[in-house]
Amino acid sequence: MSIIHQLSPHRSMTGATHCSQFKLLARMYPSWNPKRFILQPHIIEKFIRTYINITLIMLKIDGSYGEGGGQIIRTALALSTVTGIPFEAYNIRKGRSRPGLKAQHINCVKSLEDLCSAKKADCYIGSEKLTYVPDKIKAKTLNIDIGTAGSISLLLQSTILPAFFAEKKIKLNLTGGTTGKWAMPYDFFNSVYLPHIRKYSEKVYTTLVKRGYYPKGGGKIELNITPKYKLSDFRDFKEFHAYLKEQQQPINSIKQYNLVQVKGVSHSSTYLEKSEVADRQAKAAKVILSKLNCPINIRTEYCNTLSPGSGITLWAIYSRDNEEINFNNPIILGSDNLGEKGKPAEKVGKQAASGLLKEIESNAAVDRHTADNLIPWLALFGGEIRTSEITEHTRTNIWICEQFLGKTFEIDERENIIKTNF
C-alpha cells in the first residue's frame, strides 16, 4: 500500500480514482522525482496535504454559469486563496468565440503562484479546464508584467483580496494596461473602488508610474498594502471569517445623502496633445454635468506612453454632513469612457458624463460597475448596498462567492439592494 494511500482518510476511493488524482498531482509537481520521494520529507508533507485537499474538498465550478466569462475564474482564484479550498473549473468561457483561458487568466494564476505557492494544472491559453490548489499567503514584493495592454485591474480582481490578508506588508509592481475595454481603468480603481475597501487595511495606496494604452500597454502601477487582518493569525479560514464578522465593519451603502462635488481625470497620450484631446474630453463632460448643483473639478493630463490613447473617469462624492468623504462608508459613484480611433473626444467626455448622471439619478449609493467588485468583500464582512442595476456580472459574482461560502446573499430586485444574511 502506498504511503499516500495509508495516510489518506478517504480509503474508500477506487484504484481508478487514486490513479486520476495521482495524474493530477504529477501535473502539479512536474519536478517531483518518485525515486527520491522517501528522502524528501518536506516534499512528502506538501504532496500529502495537496493530495488530501484535492481528494476531499475539491470544489467543482461550472465556468459557463451565468455571465460565463473570465470573472468566474478571477473571483474563484481570489476566494480559493483566502479560504484554502481548491477548485476545478470546467466549461471555462464556453460558447465564446474563443473559449477557454486567456492570457490574463494565466497571469492571474502566475501572480498567485508567487503570492501563495499555489499549484495548478491545465493552465494554458485555450484550456477549458483549470485546477488550482492554494497554499499559505506570504508577504513579499511581487513584480508582475502582464505583457502588452492586458488589464492591471482585471489581474487585481484575483490578487487584491488575498493580499489584504497577508502576514506582513505587500508591494505589487504591476506592468500592463491602465486603460482598456471591458475593464476598470486605473483612475476608477483608485478613486471609486479603493475607498470602499480601504478600511480593511492598516494602509493601502497606489502610485501611477506610467499610463499604458492598447496595444503596447507598458503602464506601471505600484500598490502597497499593510494588512489589518492577518489570515496567518488563525487556525483556519472558518475561525478567521468568524473574527471578521465580529469586527462589525460592514459595507453599508444604501443612501446617497448630499452631493459634495464631482471630480475627474481626463487623460491622453502626448501623441494627441496637439489636438487637445484630454481638454476637449473634460470640457464636453463639464457641459453635461453643469446641471448639477455642486463644484466640478476635472483634471487634464498628457502622458508619454508606448501607444496613443485617451480616456476619462468621473466620480461623484457624497457626504452625510458635508465632509468630503467618509472612509468608513464612502458614497462614491463612478463612470468612465475610453477614447477610440475615429471617436471624437467630445463624444468620449459626453458619454462618461451621461453615464455618471444616470447613476446619480438612479438614487443608487453604489454604481453598477463597483457593485460587482464589492461582492467578495460583502461576503466576508457583511453589509448591504443599493446599486443602479444588478448586472449579470454581479449575479455571477454572488453565485461564485456562495460556492465557497454557502448561502450568503439576499437580493431585493425591486429596490436593487444586495445584502448579506449575517
The whole-angstrom separation of Cα 392 and Cα 370 is 13
Question: Does residue 44 have a pLDDT over 50?
Answer: yes
> What is the mean pLDDT of the segment spanning 37-58?
59
- Of 28-32, 131-135, 223-227, the range with the lowest mean pLDDT is 28-32
Cell 488524482: give the residue: 21
Catalytic residues: 393
* b/e burial code for range 380-409 (CB count within 10 A of at least 16 → b): bbbbbbbbbebeebbbbbbbbbebbbeebb
* Lowest mean pLDDT segment, chosen from 47-51, 65-69, 76-80, 116-120: 47-51
pLDDT at 285 over 80: yes
pLDDT of residue 303: 98
More confident site: 325 or 116: 116
pLDDT at 51: 57
Task: Give the CB-side neighbour count of residue 249, counting CA atoms within 13 A.
Answer: 18
Contact 305, 269 (CB under 8 A): yes
pLDDT of 10: 38
36 or 87, higher pLDDT: 87
pLDDT greater than 60 at residue 48? no
Pick from 311, 265, 315: which is nearest to 289 by CA? 315
Residue 256 predicted with pLDDT over 90: yes
Handedness of CA 161, 408, 418, 89 (dihedral sign): positive
- How many residues are present in the chain? 422
Write down the pLDDT at residue 2. Answer: 34
Q: Is the pLDDT of residue 273 over 70?
A: yes
pLDDT of amino acid 13: 46
Q: Average pLDDT of 241-257? A: 96
Element (H, E) at 158: helix 152-164
Does the pLDDT at position 417 exceed 70?
Answer: yes
**Statement: residue 16 has pLDDT above 80:** no
* C-alpha cell recorded at residue 188: 476608477
23-32, 213-222, 324-333, 351-360: segment of lowest average pLDDT: 23-32
Nearest Cα residue to 212 out of 146, 123, 121: 146
Bridge partners, 252 (sequence order): 384
Alpha-carbon gap, residue 119 to 365, rounded angstroms? 39
What's the rounded mean pLDDT across residues 162-166?
Answer: 98
DSSP 344: -
CB atoms within 10 A of CB 377: 20
Mean pLDDT, the chain, integer: 90
Edge-first strand listing for the sheet containing 251-253: 251-253, 383-386, 417-420, 409-412
What does the pLDDT read at residue 24?
Answer: 66
**Residue-range domains of the chain with CATH:** 1-56 (no CATH), 62-233 (3.65.10.20), 258-361 (3.30.360.20)
Phi, psi of 396 (to 5 degrees): -70, -40
